[in-house]
Amino acid sequence: MAPRLSPYVSLPGTAREALEFYRSVLGGQVSTTTFGEFGGAAQGADPDGVMHGQLDTPSGFTLMVSDAMAGTSSATGGNVALCLFGDDLEQLRGFFTGLAEGGEVTTPLQAQVWGDQYGALTDRFGVDWMVNASAPA
């Protein structure tokens, strides 16, 4: 397999809920492994917590999510945003609307000076997203 790059989001005990939310918006299949399945509970982790969760979508996205282990940071926001982009405005608008549910839109999805439709938001889990739909050629 060729190398791939995928975002990996660490959350404070909400990984399972977040994965289901992202699946409801983006589609696809979720797989999870708990800390208990690999002995992580012995190290202070919640045995039912998500040690590794992965969403693989029909659009080819892979998003990985886990619950933060005891003693590690689950800070969200800051210098990283997940960016969805392409040329299917209606599909991207649907993703934007779905991800914004329960979150905060920081830039409405609308035409920008560079000609594309762009918007930004922070979802209900504190994860920053950008959506950009390319202008028709």
High-pLDDT (> 70) share of the chain, %: 91
**CA quadruple 94, 79, 35, 69: dihedral sign:** negative
* Spans of all domains in the chain: 8-67, 82-133
What confidence tens digit (pLDDT) does each residue in 104-120 have?
Answer: 999 999 999 999 999 99
| Structure-model confidence comparison of residues 73 and 31, the more confident one | 31
For 117, the token pair is 């439709």
The reported pLDDT for the residue numbered 38 is 82
What confidence tens digit (pLDDT) does each residue in 6-61 have?
Answer: 999 999 899 999 999 999 999 999 999 999 898 766 677 788 999 999 999 999 99
3-state secondary structure the chain: CCCCCCCEEEECCCHHHHHHHHHHHHCCEEEEEECHHHCHHHHCCCCCCEEEEEEECCCCCEEEEEECCCCCCCCCCCCCCEEEEECCHHHHHHHHHHHHCCCEEEEEEEECCCCCEEEEEECCCCCEEEEEECCCC
Give me the phi and psi of 5, to 5 degrees please.
-120, 130
pLDDT of 77 > 90? The answer is: no
High-pLDDT (> 90) share of the chain, %: 74
The reported pLDDT for the residue numbered 118 is 97
The reported pLDDT for the residue numbered 73 is 63
Domain 82-133: CATH architecture, name and number where available: 2-Layer Sandwich (3.30)
